[in-house]
Amino acid sequence: MAISYKPQLQYVDFQDLTEQIQFQSTEGKIWLGEKRMLLMQLSALAAFRREMVNTIGIERAKGFFLRLGYQSGLRDAELARKLRPHCSELDIFLAGPQLHSLTGMVKVVPIEIDIDQETGGFYGELDWIDSFEVEICQTELGQMDEPVCWSLLGYACAYTSSFMGRQIIFREVSCRGCGDEKCHIVGKPAEEWDDAEEFTQYFKADPMIEELYDLQSQVSSLRSSLEKQQGQYYGIGQSASYNKVCRMIDKAALGKVSVLLLGETGVGKEVIARSVHLRSERAEQPFIAVNCAAIPPDLIEAELFGVEKGATLAQTSPGRGGLNAPMAAPYSWTR
């Protein structure tokens, strides 16, 4: 059986809900049913929201407040069922919007609500009047580009999903926080929205700490790679004679000529060769180190200067484009 709410119908009396509020002033507690509540200044929450937006950005802050409202909606759905066991489905459902009003979040005006418990069908359109989130934005953040009633929306999604036993998504199709005439929401089953998957990402936990660890690890790896490169350049020392060598490396790296490095084993010829490569305009190209001692004498010419297509190894001659063609990269020839 489908139930439809028309604007001329009214909420049932709030009394069953207001009776749930208890102030235990001497105990420092306020209760709504069995849930402990807080009564705090809206301005404090406004300052917190502004700080969140400034610290983690609008998208992340939006997810945070959507999830905050979502948690609240889940709890109120339990309370609604408990408080109105003998009422119609519609009046039980409307306890949610009434609780939203009672707790000072917003005045909710149902425009159309169709509930079909048999098929799980749901369609809802409601107006929000005097949303606390619009007030926060107006005092702390100014006019926004998109709807701002994030936690109210999270509440509506969770409350209705829990009530219907299936995922219902509400979207705020117009909002005073971004200059529209009024805040208006539309809700229907997730599969009836084209972008439900994208929207429900907001309800997934978003642990920034993982991302921070990831970034930290990337920075650390970049730093060690940079230090390694600098070490290849500067690692041998900072003496006057080595500084002279460094200046020669700078000079040689800018030219296109081959560079011949001579020296005893272990003096750092390959390190210098890599430094020349890193400083050259071919730094982005691969550096190919060739150990000449490992190449048979009759192949060395072909290895270093390339082989013309069709030539046999015995008939090698200087060619173009061989794997190790001259000028492909500075070489370190070591013996």
Give least dist CB 163 to Zn ion, A. Answer: 22
Q: Which of 32, 80, 169, 175 binds Zn ion (CB under 5 A)?
A: 175
Interface segment toward Zn ion; rule CB under 5 A; list 22-30, 141-149, 186-194, 241-249: 141-149
Which element (helix H / strand E) includes 125? strand 121-129
**Contacting Zn ion (CB under 5 A), which of 92, 99, 106, 149?**
149
Element (H, E) at 31: strand 29-32
Residue 107 CB, shortest distance to Zn ion, in Å, is 12
Please report how close the Cβ of residue 279 comes to Zn ion at its closest, in angstroms. 58
Nearest CA-CA partner of 96 in 183, 171, 154, 34: 154
Q: Encoding tokens for residue 35? A: 């849930």
Residue 311 tokens, joined: 């030539």
Minimal distance in Å, beta carbon 150 to Zn ion? 9
CB of 147 to Zn ion, least distance (A): 5
- Using CB under 5 A, which of the segments 82-90, 143-151, 231-239, 293-301 binds Zn ion? 143-151
In sign, the C-alpha dihedral spanning 197, 202, 205, 206 is positive
Which member of 183, 261, 272, 273 binds Zn ion (CB under 5 A)? 183
Least distance CB 176 / Zn ion (angstroms): 6
Contact between 168 and 188 under an 8 Å Cβ cutoff? The reply is: yes
Binding map of Zn ion across residues 86-105, x = CB under 5 A, - = no contact: --------------------
**DSSP string spanning 261-304?**
----TTS-HHHHHHHHHHHSTTTTSPP--EEGGGS-TTTHHHHH
State whether residue 37 is helix, strand or coil.
strand
Stretch in the footprint of Zn ion (CB under 5 A) among 10-18, 183-191, 209-217, 315-323 = 183-191
C-beta closer to Zn ion: residue 96 or 177: 177
Nearest to 189 by CA among 127, 114, 128: 114
Sheet holding 29-32, edge to edge: 21-24, 29-32, 35-37
Tokens of 104: 């000072």
**DSSP one-letter code for 332:** -
Tell me, residue by residue from 117 to 136, as one string, x for binding to Zn ion by CB under 5 A and - for no binding.
Answer: --------------x-----
Closest approach of Zn ion to the CB of residue 109, in Å: 13
Is position 261 an interface residue for Zn ion (rule: CB under 5 A)? Answer: no
Cα–Cα distance between 79 and 16 in angstroms, integer?
A: 11
Cα–Cα distance measured from residue 96 to residue 111, given in angstroms and rounded to the nearest whole number: 15
Nearer to Zn ion, 166 or 171 (CB): 171
CA 78 – CA 80 distance, rounded (Å): 6
Give the residue with the Cβ less far from Zn ion, 103 or 229: 103
Stretch binding Zn ion (CB under 5 A), from 26-34, 147-155, 218-226, 274-282: 147-155
Cβ closest to Zn ion, residue 177 vs residue 306 = 177
Q: Which amino acid is at 328?
A: A
Structure token pair of residue 200 = 């429900």
State in angstroms the smallest separation of the CB of 181 from Zn ion.
Answer: 11
**CB 190 within 8 Å of CB 168:** yes
Q: In whole angstroms, how close is the CB of 134 to Zn ion at the nearest point? A: 5
The size of the interface with Zn ion (CB under 5 A), counted in residues, is: 5
CB closer to Zn ion out of 131 and 275: 131
Residues that bind Zn ion (CB under 5 A): 131, 149, 175, 177, 183
